[in-house]
Amino acid sequence: MHGMVPPDPQTSVSQEHFAVVYIPGRSRKRFPASCVEIADSRESALKRAETSSKKYAAVLVGPSKSSEGQYIYYLKEWLK
């Protein structure tokens, strides 16, 4: 994905995370850190997801710092 910092195996910058994302819909590909809750596992993310509350389980890559100075996560895949 354009602008995404690829995971670095030697550091903890921009790693893959299971997470729950609070968003109005699943059309976006990047999310501010304020909308992301990191989960311990795939199962944990799936249990905490609530589509009726606009919380979706995903695998994200990040965080990265955007050109606006915000920390963001990039979508790798939706879990549901």
What is this structure's pTM?
0.83
- Over the stretch 6-39, which tens digit does the pLDDT of each residue have? 655 666 667 899 999 999 988 889 999 999 999 9
The per-residue pLDDT for 10 is 62
Identify whether the C-beta of residue 18 lies closer than 8 Å to the C-beta of residue 63. Answer: no
Place of tokens 């997470």: 19
Torsions phi, psi of 26, nearest 5?
-100, 35
DSSP per-residue string spanning 12-68: SSSEEEEEEEE-S-S--SEEEGGGEEEESSHHHHHHH-BGGGTEEEEEEEEEEE-TT
